Amino acid sequence: MHLLDNNKQWAEDLLKRDPDYFKKLAVEQQPKYLMIGCSDSRVPLSSMFLAEPGEIFIHRNIANQANLSDLNFLSVLEYSVDVLQVKHIIMVGHYRCGGVAAAIEGVHRVLVENWMNPVRLLFKRHSKELEALEDNQHIYDRLSELNAIEQSLNILRSPIMHNAVNRGHYPSVDAWIFDIYTGLFKILDLPITEWKKVGYVHPGYKYHDD
């Protein structure tokens, strides 16, 4: 199997650079970043940033959802914030997301349909803006941006983040979109001030970039 052959070559290359590489890697992980991304195979987060093992803690699911009823996601978030004490949480969406398209078009798969329901509701909330766009792909890509912003809000309004802000040690939260047409990432604006006014975000939360 070529995957195992590639793994062997990868390990050999690292050992040539540093014979103690895996001994050091086995000690502990101290990532600065938690990235929540889509399961899409075209968005390999670690390699896209030339990141070494141990630099980025990653959680992935269809259409990069931060569902506050998903114990898998909540466990990752809690461990990242409370134990690893990451500095930054980055919600990563991407253009041409099949999950986002499926939320609108449907896929006739009960579990997937259920998982994508929050994106479908997001589409309905922003239907006026989205339906004014010129074609379906622009609609889907803009919805991918809106979804990344919405999932960032879910992180910020989670009890895990609220407790972290109360303790005075918490990560900053960003929303990025991967432009699959160029290979580059874009930073999306988060309306933190507005979210604070309506009580979604802890009033003590302040963005930091250290």
H-type alpha helices, 59-198 = 71-78, 98-105, 110-115, 117-125, 127-131, 136-156, 159-167, 192-197
Q: What's residue 106's pLDDT?
A: 75
Q: What's residue 38's pLDDT?
A: 96
| pLDDT band at 24; cut points 50, 70, 90 | confident
Domain-located, residue 155: yes
3-state secondary structure of 49: coil
Q: Does 202 have pLDDT greater than 60? A: yes
Domain-located, residue 206: no
Domain-located, residue 200: no
Q: Which two tokens stand for residue 148?
A: 């990344």
3-state secondary structure of 170: coil
**pLDDT tens digits, residue range 49-98?**
988 888 999 999 999 999 999 999 999 999 999 999 999 999 999 999 99
3-state secondary structure of 91: strand
- Structural domain of 111: 31-194
- Structural domain count of the chain: 2
**pLDDT tens digits, residue range 150-161?**
999 999 999 999
Mean pLDDT within 25-39: 91
**Same domain, yes or no: 59 and 106:** yes
The Cβ of residue 130 has, within 10 Å, a number of other Cβ atoms equal to: 19
Domain-located, residue 36: yes
**Same domain, yes or no: 184 and 101:** yes
Residue 192, class by beta-carbon neighbours within 10 Å (0-12 exposed, 13-18 middle, 19+ buried)? Answer: middle
Which residues form the catalytic set?
38, 40, 42, 94, 97
Residues belonging to the chain: 210
What residues pair up with 51 in beta bridges, in sequence order?
Answer: none
User: CATH code at 153?
Assistant: 3.40.1050.10
